[in-house]
Structure 1
Amino acid sequence: MKHASGPNQIKTDTLPARTSIGTGQLALNDADYDERATMRAWENFLADEPKCARDPVHVRSLIHESWYRSATGGINAQSIEAPLSSDRDEIEYLTRTNAELLSAAQRSFASLGQLLDGTGAMLVLADSDGVLIDAIGDKKTLHDGMDIHLGIGGKWNEDAVGTNGIGTALWTGKPIFVHAAEHFCAGIKSWTCAGAPIRDPLDGKIIGVVDLSGYSPIFRPHNTALVAATARQIEKALAEQQQEQRTRLLEAFISSAPSYRSKDGLVIMDHRGRAIFCNNVPDGETTEMRDGPMEPGRGRWLMNLPPSGSEDELAKALPPHLRSCHITPLKLDGNLRGAALVFPSGPAISTVAVIDREVNRHLQAATTKIVGESEELLAAVDIASRVARSSGVTSLLIEGETGVGKELFARLVHAGSRRTSNDPFIAINCGAITKELFGSELFGHVAGAFTGASREGKPGVFELANGGVLSLDEIGELPLEIQPFLLRILEERVVHRIGDARGRPVDVRLIASTNRDLKQEVAAGRFRSDLYYRIGAVSIHVPPLRDRGEDVLLLTEHFNRQIAAAAGEDPLEFSHDALDALLAYRWPGNVRELKNLIERLHVLARGRNVGLRDLPKEITTPVPERTNMPADRPTTGTEQLGSTLVDAERQAMKNALAAEGGNLSRVARRLGISRPTLYRKLDQYGIRRGFV
């Protein structure tokens, strides 16, 4: 077997020996595991990664997709271990921030730990980033696990170590197993693991993973069922903890608020600013909640609670749409563990309600999420607000560079056009869908419509968005052959599932967004002119961050305080030189890039004071202008502008690749673009992933 040269080249004599387990024990998903075949598939994948991305190798689709993410994300297939943090302060911080998860898992881990001794298996608990925070089980396996850093402090998400039970369960959000040669990195191919995500019972977000690992002979098909059952037990314990905290916070509120009247509206928040109890909440955008047996408002995030817990600081932290209420800190055992929002039942509430009804309460709240004061931005907000109030506009085109916040404008239109609290908002990224699946995703299909179709059939996004808003991001990526069908739905307001002659009426407001110049796409024959004029009758241009002047400083302050409050820390302090550098930078990734930078500074800054030395080089070192154009060739103003923008984008991508060591997942996040868009741009500019 020949191998392609590069960082992923592996010698076959370094691969782990084949397991002695018979393949008959490994049947799952109608395919027997065959280690030799899996190993050959892995070698073929590394030898010709682009071809194997187009033509999947003979492994489970879940594994093939994860291999592709690992390879394109810059994971080195020669790796023998995961990254490990052994710093005591970091471990203590992990333990402190995951105290609730550790407490909820304690009972399950204690009972299973006794049963695993001598079995060759270990049970580990990871947080939402895939970092291990607890491990129990067979002593020898625990010891051997440290050879690959499968211990507390080891980082096992896919971005760190490729395909594995913990990271792939985090990515898919489902219980999965990864057996032996199915791992991406050679150093862990002698192990088998089964992981299951743990979700917060309050809001459904993934907060961790429980995983059963050991050398490959421990593999059994029911390992996945075991970890899934353990995850459910942990979730049940979390729910009990949350119920206990809810009761204690209610008791704390009752004892601290003797003037509270039963007619007043009340919302109790936990320490993360999520609603855990609501009663008599007034109508309107203030909270969109009602009291009732199921308490539909529970779990909704309302605000960040400042660490100090004083009433003054809490009042300052209130979002504008909650300023009409009174907030009270709630402490348990001397620590701030929540807050109560009280909406007095009197003239103050009725006055606020009248004002809110006149300007549309939903719209007001959505508008406050768009931070900025520049004229171009406020003009875009004004157009979006008018479109939201209009019943005659059924489609809207939002144009702007990647990362400018186009989805916020789409949600603003949705908020202002809502008729009921249940009107759906469905968002789909056209750049993240394969060409073969476009029709099925947009229009749905009936049972057996094509190979691989769902047995029960499937509704498309138009049906799912019926009565609300459908947001099609990166609509410029829509294949030409699909565009006539989209146009027909917009004109007839009827959708036909693939394989079905019956039409289904839909009432959908379409919001299309793009970072391309659709007029140029029409001129080039890549986008239909009739569809362009249909969706672009009303359009909004969201300005890039570099054209918004001092909005950069407003957004820096906004993200700084938001991130600090979420982490329970004081905001960073920026020097004048640092702020000047942020103002002068061109921000190719726009608002998303700025937010990512502030998050990075909260982690990596040397102290609470941020200076020039803490900023990335691409911000503090201006990119020199290119002067290699022949002097005797005259250029038009349009050519110069196009060349400047293209050169700036190409250089920004090279800078990001160098800063992130070629890791495409992190490069995409840094630039604020999707990975499919990044791949297309790399091909467009002829940039190799290995560029440093």
Structure 2
Amino acid sequence: MASDSRQRDTMRAWESFVERGKATADIEKSVRAEILESWARCTDSGINALCSSTPQKMGENSVHELRRKNRALCRAAKSAFQRLAPHLSESRAILLLTDQTGTVIEATGDAKTLDTGREIGLEVGGVWDEDVIGTNGIGTALRTGMPTYVHASEHFCQGIKAWTCAGVPIFDPLDRTVIGVVDLSGPPDIFRRHNVALVVAAAREIEIALAEHQRDERTSLLEAFIDLPNPRDKDDAIVLLNESGRIVYSKNTEIVGDSRGDDLLLGRQLVSLDPEMSDGEVAAALPPGLTTKAIDILKSGAGIQGAALILPSKTSAAKMPVNPSGIKISPRRGVEEQEIQIIGECPKMLETLEFARRAAKANVTVLVQGETGVGKELFARLIHSYHAPRDAPYVAVNCAAISGELIGGELFGHVAGAFTGALKEGKPGKFEQADGGVLCLDEIGDMPLELQTYLLRTLEQRAVYRVGCSKRRAIDVQLIAITNRDLRKDIEEGRFRRDLFYRIGTIIINVPPLRERGRDIDLLISHFNQKLSQNFDRAPLVFEQEALTALRDYNWPGNVRELRNVIERICLLHTDAVVKLSDLPEDITEPDTSFLATGSKSYLSADKMDLDQIESHAIQRAIKMYNGNLTRVAASLGISRPTLYRKIKHYGLDRGK
């Protein structure tokens, strides 16, 4: 143990150092070099030498989040802490575990010392980085990457000189970065130089547990990847991410052409995985410039075990699926229309398709929600296709395309003379026409409030009353409501009935936007390429890798409809067989990724936009694309001209003329 005189010498040296702001020859004789170097760093950082405790402390929620992010470290430290805890209970010492920021996330040991530690913030949630509280066992070990002991007056801040501590960094076995510290702290009389050896042993025990876990995790991820049903080329570049989004395995990454080498090093965290993330969301969170051919979410039970990234090589051709998979919907009997195909393999899309199948089987009301252009109406057709009678009626009504005065008669029918403009012989409404089948109400959020009451009564009574008539007409109709609006927001603002929302939303189908569908974009490009090339009597296009990468990386505010329009435009106007990056529209080759313009000329971050803002942006882009030709704009967006005019007025958009 250091002598009292040695402590007095160190204290006088500290007082002189704080007063002068630098070391002298006498100070250098009295203080260990590593401590003096730390004091110099503290002075440069502006640390208050009179500080009595750490000025930073995390709340309970923040600590919980830190433990979640460092779950592998906490799991690896559990055994060592449980083994040492009984030996520390009467020792006046405490054992601490911190993350890489010096924040304490676990603490055990002598109860009285734990209580005393709270007075200076030496407790769970306390931040002990050297830049926060000066020289100390935790912060200085983090800064130097070396086992460190700091005894009593060697601390830089006056208020913690009544402590002694020994900190040892914990290294990640995967990439040897410092991920935390084990620290033994207590009053000065517990100080022994061999305390450092005890803490070193605990740190090494934690590192061994981490290495064993990483080895088991890697094996489990490889087994999950091998069990995937999707075929892979033997030359594919493969990267496996663990549950934290770190690379634990890679193969053939030297052939990858459009990513930086440092991105693919073992141990590198490419993305912060969340249990609810889709493959599209993983793709969106990857570092800029890192392009994937495919992403497979690897699951264990109900949670994410990790993810497999399939990367394109520098020299490989832009291979597209020859026969994109999907669900085919046959033309309705007696209706001249083409076969419909719903393309998609991403987990969110497969879940949505399954919801549609269940909804059809249960014959319940369905609410289909999603952004403009995602293909919501296809799900109404899909549900109808599951109905047993092949000739079951399918009736579609666009609530926004009919004036408020006429929509009641259109939906519920009317008798002769019921209102101005009513047919002399009366007319059955859409509900009666759809009896025994499906009634699809598109843009239901635009239905007038007064008619929402009639709709609710019709659904509850399973009967209609024509306008101007008290006769009850029983109906058997499966209602499918479609909207791109946020109906919950409309409810709060008094534009939509809450009871109607819950009545139509027995099953809610949220059709994912294209940017969240990952490799589905490849399937859709191939599908539209083959179909439209055949329509225009030309050979299918061949996309260069750069062009394909740009299509994959684009945000697609207009979703699948916008993608189809782009492919159709290229098929129609491009005379060459090969599509280069320069052949794509400027919006795709030079996207403004940080901000998107809305019709009101304001600018919002893309990830902050709600459905209304995304819709207004898509409409404004279409107006620009077609030079203000609103007929073509309406056709490209799949809406009627009256609906387009109403939305332009509603959003205050520039009509381009």
Could you state the TM-score of these two structures normalised by the residue count of structure 2? 0.46
